[in-house]
Amino acid sequence: MKNDVTKTPVAVIGASGYTGLELLKLLITHPRFDIAYIGNTKGGIRTEELHPSLKSVFSGDVLKSDANEIAKVAKVAFLALPHKTSMSFAKKLLKLGVKVVDLSADYRLELDTYEKYYCEHEDRENIPNSVYGLPEFYRQKIKNTSLVANPGCYPTATLLGILPFCDFIDERYPIFIDAKSGVSGAGKKCSEKTHFVSIDENIFAYNPLMHRHEPEIKEKMKQFSGKDFDVNFVPHLLPIIRGEMIDSYMLVKEEGLNPLEILREFYKNEPNIRIYEYPIDMKSSSGTNFCDIFAKVVGKKLYINSAIDNILRGSSSQAVANANIMCGFEENLGIPIIAYVP
Amino acid sequence: MKNDVTKTPVAVIGASGYTGLELLKLLITHPRFDIAYIGNTKGGIRTEELHPSLKSVFSGDVLKSDANEIAKVAKVAFLALPHKTSMSFAKKLLKLGVKVVDLSADYRLELDTYEKYYCEHEDRENIPNSVYGLPEFYRQKIKNTSLVANPGCYPTATLLGILPFCDFIDERYPIFIDAKSGVSGAGKKCSEKTHFVSIDENIFAYNPLMHRHEPEIKEKMKQFSGKDFDVNFVPHLLPIIRGEMIDSYMLVKEEGLNPLEILREFYKNEPNIRIYEYPIDMKSSSGTNFCDIFAKVVGKKLYINSAIDNILRGSSSQAVANANIMCGFEENLGIPIIAYVP
Amino acid sequence: MKNDVTKTPVAVIGASGYTGLELLKLLITHPRFDIAYIGNTKGGIRTEELHPSLKSVFSGDVLKSDANEIAKVAKVAFLALPHKTSMSFAKKLLKLGVKVVDLSADYRLELDTYEKYYCEHEDRENIPNSVYGLPEFYRQKIKNTSLVANPGCYPTATLLGILPFCDFIDERYPIFIDAKSGVSGAGKKCSEKTHFVSIDENIFAYNPLMHRHEPEIKEKMKQFSGKDFDVNFVPHLLPIIRGEMIDSYMLVKEEGLNPLEILREFYKNEPNIRIYEYPIDMKSSSGTNFCDIFAKVVGKKLYINSAIDNILRGSSSQAVANANIMCGFEENLGIPIIAYVP
Amino acid sequence: MKNDVTKTPVAVIGASGYTGLELLKLLITHPRFDIAYIGNTKGGIRTEELHPSLKSVFSGDVLKSDANEIAKVAKVAFLALPHKTSMSFAKKLLKLGVKVVDLSADYRLELDTYEKYYCEHEDRENIPNSVYGLPEFYRQKIKNTSLVANPGCYPTATLLGILPFCDFIDERYPIFIDAKSGVSGAGKKCSEKTHFVSIDENIFAYNPLMHRHEPEIKEKMKQFSGKDFDVNFVPHLLPIIRGEMIDSYMLVKEEGLNPLEILREFYKNEPNIRIYEYPIDMKSSSGTNFCDIFAKVVGKKLYINSAIDNILRGSSSQAVANANIMCGFEENLGIPIIAYVP
């Protein structure tokens, strides 16, 4: 951790997990951000001990996270924390003048929705100031806020595919979203579910029609379009480390829709969206900030097929893009666009 | 290949592929069938050369398939052949008095449907006599036929999940079927798509809303219920060898449905169906003839989640069960029920 | 659990783990054994709850293991327990007249060796009576003992490859054994090491030159040949569930050895050994009790390449074969020989 | 493909394969190289058609490779071609004044060795001028040559582990090298061996004690140390896309060696080597140019454990590092050091 006056000092709080690692990896080489503070629950360890692959690449002290200390050295803080823990830090940091990109769910939802699906909110004051960090839709607001709620991984991939069609979808019928995620999305903590033997050569759905990302998708569709859509979400875990694919099924109001034309027009100036004429493969976006989208209409039935890297576009690289916008930098500065393929 | 007069001699035609291997594996230990003829396109090889894992287990001459020779030694023939090739064998074998279990698509569909999605049919005469080999639904007819059309893997898993709900589904609304298959379903032939590097850490849809199993599902639902359902089918390839999972989404006519009760009642005497109270995992049925099913209703939305082993219940073990029924044996004779887990 | 008087009642103690599951799977269909008692640490659960893939296949009460209760109902006990726990059960069961197949390390080694690598031994009395359960080498003794020490998975695959060459190996030089195991060998307990994300797309060695199976291999080579070999063992974990491959490197005393001829002669009457003329692939033995072996000599250098299913031949199916021998049954009764391929 | 006069124009010949893709990925973002020519066998295609993951990232015309055209626009050519094809291009390009980094085997070996293991050499003239591109050992010579023979992937990982010990190894005893590679090393061409179903849940050795990388390792050890070592090499294919691990076993002349100290001293100024105190895991170097090394001594037995990314350090990133040196740039310019983990 060097001190470079031309760079903006940032803090990574919650450095132990996968999204913490991805943040570090992105920030190490970022041309305008400088890692000034790294925190986790306990501290007293170095980054290369937490993440051995960083050996000889980057070495920083990991401290027991302390909002006051963070505020002394950092202008922007990335919070890669569980929900509830996150809001307690965000609240303090905002008061101390630190900009916050919160990767948890704490500021993504309206108060009622949040409290219904998560827990009591302890920082109601800042909810109205938070901006949902989907740059393609909220770029201007992100520029002017000091609190970005970084979207969930599933909502990111789903919304980027569906939002362009809000005017066309027949809201009297349900939207069915069949989602598939790599295991990194389940976090670093070991459990019977994440044991290699449980995951390998297997696939299973979890929390069908009751996952917390369902209300997030629904609420954002409402905010964007003013309409109430009936969103039904079934996520699956895949024997894959990284990546996420969404298959969305719905009805449109009229036949004859050309979905690729709609997508191309909608995203014509967007560098982080790729439109395909054939079904996408998940791996082509792994390692990048791209959201890849294919869509097809048969009669009134619309099928949307989108993919992202769940811990980059679905978390850490989107967070850095948001920080870029908040700090007045070019949005794609330091953002990865070259996939890990092969 | 011993000759045991108390056993029924059978032929396996198309022994080179994965379903051919599965047939051999099942028949080697079958208490009432005796492998009397093994054929493939070229012949001149032994089974353990085609399938090295059979070394020291089973050794048989593989011959260039010849219907007349088959008829001399076998009473039942399993055809694990590509469509079109299959019907030319079936036609001859039936004329020679050999019972046929056809694992291809050739006799699964009504003539018009078949010719629309496959090719011109060259054995129209036998189509009316063929029985669709889904034992839970056509057991009696299978008993009395000499030609079973073994169902496709995707239709097997889909129909076993959906058919019990035909009376409840609102047919004015589309049914969306999001299917996931292991790579053995794509066959043994190498291609860029089946290269390890293309499949591993990846997932992709193929032939979305235009796969040939879509009309098969639709037609069987019509035959069973008399109703026209709007079936929409999107299959995916998974980085998995064996297994298949189906997620089906639809609307029912009225709220308050208890889908597990319906399934339990419907399948109460069926030994090869397992009903779950939580989402199924694909691997629990791998290696078996089981179809595992979970279902859930929210309002009028019905979600059905089913899984099978694609090359056993989706092909070879279902074929052997059909042959058991055709020969008057106990349906589950020699049928595997213990999963490969772990 | 039916009671069949023509069958020998057996107990499976330690039913929760992978080898416990494999034992149950083998015993469910075994023609001469009847599962009379199933135990684990806590009891109060049913087998299909411990192992959901057994649903509708086998349902038995799992009890808190109690030696006296076991002795009332079972004539043979399989102990799939951790070392140390195992000897305390074995001791009691033997005293109560129950034959024991111990899958732990507790009776595999001579006292000194055991206490050096494991812990203090609490059943010294029974060590001299125990027989090392490698049927190809100790068949006669197994027949006459009431305590079989089932070999470790690595020693099984290694010794079956190496022992035939003891007369030819130059014992002045070290033997290097590079072993590779699937993750089921690491047990069902979750840890950072067995997390899917740690294992997938990865490989690593562990305990190099200091694994407890090293002295087991060395001691058995000594017992068999009377010679002290310098055994050096490095195991690796593979991103695979099931299977184990051993690559052994050593020097022989004279050039001109034909290793395949030696193997074929040595194992000429052995049904569970397969000799190959080309390098073996691990998967061809997965699901079976086979040990597959290939070997090659260049000058005085001997390379031996062997593979087994680590939880079958390396544990549970070898245990059942040993029990067959102990009970006077045909050795391969109920032993799987058909691989899971594809 | 922009034209930037401050950058050195380079050609990538053989752009269709995995190493061709890796070269493109590295060169797209390289601060001092500019991709001026992209060739493959047929031409008439664009890079994003060859490699769909490059969509919206980089688009270049791929031409039918022509040495004269290459020489008009490029100062350095990377040849990612099969052996034999490569020398015909290199010969012409060198004559036309283009510097060449040859990723094939054509200039790695002395003439006799080459012709024994590959084919007749058609460019004998340039063999003496070629430099073996292992920067840690031939940095000065690379600086002054116009032809670098980029090392094989296995020799790179093996030699970086073993060469520091040449003074200590007892050359009277064989060195055994047990190598494990991801499937990308087998190339993009499909075959039964690279079918997903053949590789997944499997491992097998190939060309044991007769792989072409064996003489390459032996010859480089001789060149470096003046000694003839007895090198014995057995490679394996792993169910992994990317990465390579080497386990080398040998005897040293005297006891008491501290191998980590030797490695640390030997590589003390080398930025692309990492020394570990515990066995390495393959994935920590995937995505980077690092070679990770662990070593351990017991008595006189030395175990060396090294890993690289087979298509980066084992091919394309090492090629770019060599080009950097040849052009007088900083060796690590544009070279990846952050692993893909998780």
Tokens encoding B333: 């004779």
Rg (CA), chain A: 20
CB neighbour list of residue A218: distance below 8 Å, 6 or more residues apart: A228, A229, A231
The chains found to touch B (3+ Cβ pairs under 8 angstroms) are: A, C, D
Q: Tell me what pLDDT residue C201 has.
A: 98
What pLDDT score was predicted for residue C3? 58
Q: CB D18 to CB A339 under 8 A?
A: no
CATH architecture of the domain B154-309 equals: 2-Layer Sandwich (3.30)
Beta-carbon separation of C195 and A195 below 8 A: yes
Subunits with at least 3 CB pairs below 8 A relative to chain A? B, C, D
Q: D281 has which bridge partners?
A: C204
- Cβ contact (<8 Å) for C55 and B274? yes
Under an 8 A CB cutoff, do C342 and B283 touch?
Answer: no
- In tens, the pLDDT along D272-307 reads 999 999 999 999 999 999 999 999 999 999 999 999
Number of H helices, E strands in chain C: 11, 15
Where does chain A hold its CATH 3.40.50.720 domain(s)? 8-129
Query: Could you tell me which residues come within 8 angstroms of residue D128 by beta carbon, excluding any fewer than 6 positions away?
Result: none
Helix H or strand E encompassing C36: strand C33-40
pLDDT tens digits along B197-207: 999 999 999 99
Find chain A residues with C-beta within 8 A of B209's C-beta: 296, 298, 301, 303
Q: Are C108 and C131 in contact (CB under 8 A)?
A: no
The residue type of C234 is: V
A80 reaches D (C-beta below 8 A) = no
**DSSP codes of every residue in A57-126:** T---EEEE--HHHHHHH-SEEEE---TTHHHHHHHHHHHTT-EEEE-SSTTTS-HHHHHHHS---S-GGG
For D241, the closest chain B residue by CA position comes to: B197
Question: How many angstroms separate the CA of residue A330 from the nearest CA in chain D?
Answer: 17
Q: What pLDDT sits at residue A5?
A: 72
With beta carbons under 8 A apart, name residues in chain C contacting B283.
53
Q: Which of D28, D200, D337 sits opposite A57 (nearest CB)?
A: D337
Mean pLDDT of A166-178: 98
Q: Which of C310, C307, C243, C242 is nearest to C276 (CA)?
A: C307
- CB count, 10 Å around CB of C105? 23
Alpha-carbon distances, residue C148 vs B3, B116, C11, C17, C121 (angstroms): 39, 65, 15, 20, 17
**CA torsion sign, A233 to A238 to A244 to A250?**
negative
Residue C29, token pair as written in the block: 């269909």
What contacts D301, CB < 8 A, 6 or more positions away?
C174, C176, C209, C230, C232, D249, D250, D251, D252
Contacts B–C by Cβ distance under 8 A: 64
Any idea which residue has 């009622």 for tokens? A112
Q: Kindly determine whether residue C178 and residue D178, on different chains, have CB atoms separated by under 8 Å.
A: yes
Is residue D6 very low, low, confident or very high in pLDDT (cuts 50, 70, 90)?
confident
The answer for residues whose C-beta is within 8 angstroms of residue A169's C-beta and 6 or more apart is A162, A175, A229, A250, A251, A252, A253, A302
Query: Measured between alpha carbons, how far is C186 from C184 in angstroms, rounded to an integer?
Result: 5
CA-based nearest distance A135→chain C, Å: 29
pLDDT given for residue A3 in this prediction: 58
User: Can you tell me the distance from the alpha carbon of A156 to that of A267, in angstroms, rounded to the nearest whole number?
Assistant: 15
Q: Are the beta carbons of B81 and B19 closer than 8 angstroms?
A: no
Spatial distance between the Cα atoms of B15 and B63, rounded to a whole number of angstroms: 10
Q: Which of B205, B208, B249 sits opposite A176 (nearest CB)?
A: B249
What is the token pair recorded at C90? 């074995």
**Calpha distance C169→C173 (Å, rounded):** 9
Residues of D in contact with B196 (CB under 8 A): 183, 194-196, 198-200, 239, 241
SS3 B27: helix
Longest CA–CA span in chain A (Å) reads 61
Q: Which amino acid is at D71?
A: A
Per-residue pLDDT averaged across A12-37, rounded? Answer: 98
The per-residue pLDDT for range D226-245, each reduced to its tens digit, is 999 999 999 999 999 999 99
Closest residue by Cα to residue B240 from B211, B205, B279, B282? B282
Strand order in the sheet with C231-237: C204-205, C231-237, C175-181, C244-251, C301-308, C291-298, C273-275
Catalytic annotation, pick one of C153, C166, C190, C327: C153
Contact yes or no for D340 and A340 at CB 8 A:
yes
Q: What is the pLDDT of residues B144-161, one digit of tens each?
A: 999 999 999 999 999 999
Residue A70's identity, in one-letter code, is I
From chain B residues 44-63, the ones with a CB under 8 A of any chain C CB are 51-57
Quote the CA–CA distance of C83 and B235 in Å, as a whole number: 47
- Report the alpha-carbon distance of residue D96 to residue A239 in Å, rounded: 51
Tokens of A231: 């969103």
| Phi then psi dihedrals of residue D36, to 5 deg | -105, -15
User: Can you tell me the distance from the alpha carbon of D312 to that of D243, in angstroms, rounded to the nearest whole number?
Assistant: 9
Q: Do D23 and D76 contact (CB within 8 A), yes or no?
A: no
Say what the pLDDT of residue D5 is: 72
Cross-chain residue pair A53–D201, CB shorter than 8 Å: no
Residue A139's closest CA among A1, A271, A315, A31?
A: A271
Q: What is the mean pLDDT of residues D39-56?
A: 97
* pLDDT class of C247 with cuts at 50, 70, 90: very high
Confidence label for C6 from pLDDT (cuts 50, 70 and 90): confident
Each residue's pLDDT tens digit, A227-238:
999 999 999 999
Q: Is the pLDDT of residue C117 over 90?
A: yes
Edge-to-edge strand ranges of the sheet holding D175-181 = D204-205, D231-237, D175-181, D244-251, D301-308, D291-298, D273-275
- C311 CB neighbours in chain B (<8 A) are 342
CB B30 within 8 A of CB B54: no
- 10-residue stretch averages of pLDDT, chain B, 342 residues long: 78 98 98 98 97 97 98 98 97 98 98 97 97 98 98 98 98 98 94 96 97 96 98 98 98 98 98 98 98 98 98 98 98 98 97
pLDDT at D2 over 60: no
Query: pLDDT value at position D3?
Result: 58
Which residues are CB-neighbours of C128 under 8 A, at least 6 positions away?
A: none
Q: Which residues contact C239 (CB under 8 A, 6 or more apart)?
A: A196, A200, C183, C199, C200, C201, C202, C203, D238, D239, D240
Q: Which residue has the tokens 């450095």?
A: A15
Mean pLDDT of D314-341: 98
- The alpha carbon of residue A298 is apart from the nearest alpha carbon of chain B, in Å, by 8
pLDDT tens across A82-121, in order? 999 999 999 999 999 999 999 999 999 999 999 999 999 9
Would strands C61-64 and C33-40 be described as parallel, antiparallel, or unpaired? parallel
Tell me the C-alpha distance between A244 and A246, whole Å: 7
Residues A260-282 have a mean pLDDT of 98
Unique residue bearing structure tokens 């089932």: C150
Distance CA B24, CA B53 (A): 12
| Beta carbons of A342 and D311 less than 8 Å apart | yes
Q: What is the pLDDT of residues D124-163, one digit of tens each?
A: 999 999 999 999 999 999 999 999 999 999 999 999 999 9
Given D201, D279, D283, which is nearest C208 (Cβ)? Answer: D279
User: What does the block give as tokens for D110?
Assistant: 């002395």
* Beta-carbon contacts of residue C111 (< 8 Å; ≥ 6 apart): C121, C124, C127
Amino acid at D159: L
Contacts of B147 (CB under 8 A, 6+ apart): B90, B94, B99, B100, B102, B107, B126, B129, B130, B131
Residue with tokens 């662990």: D294
| Cβ contact D56–A21 (<8 Å) | no
Nearest-angstrom CA–CA distance, B103 and B114: 15
Which pLDDT belongs to residue C2?
52
Question: Would you tell me which residues 198-257 of chain A have a C-beta closer than 8 angstroms to some C-beta of chain C?
Answer: 198-201, 239-241
Q: How confident is the model at residue A4 (pLDDT cuts 50, 70, 90)?
A: low
Separation in Å, CA of A239 to nearest CA in chain C: 8
Give domain D8-129's CATH superfamily.
NAD(P)-binding Rossmann-like Domain (3.40.50.720)
- For residue A215, give how far its alpha carbon lies from the nearest alpha carbon of chain D (Å): 29
Q: Nearest CA of chain D to the CA of C9: how many Å?
A: 35
Residue A226 CB contacts under 8 Å (≥ 6 apart), including other chains: none
Residues 3-22 of D with CB under 8 A from B: 18
d(CA D186, CA D191): 10
Question: Chain D contacts of A275, Cβ < 8 Å?
Answer: none
**Pairing of the two strands D244-251 and D175-181:** antiparallel
Closest-CA residue of chain D to B237: D196
Smallest Cβ–Cβ distance between D205 and the set C232, C238, C279 belongs to C279
Nearest to C342 among B21, B54, B56 (CB): B21
Place of tokens 């990465």: D243
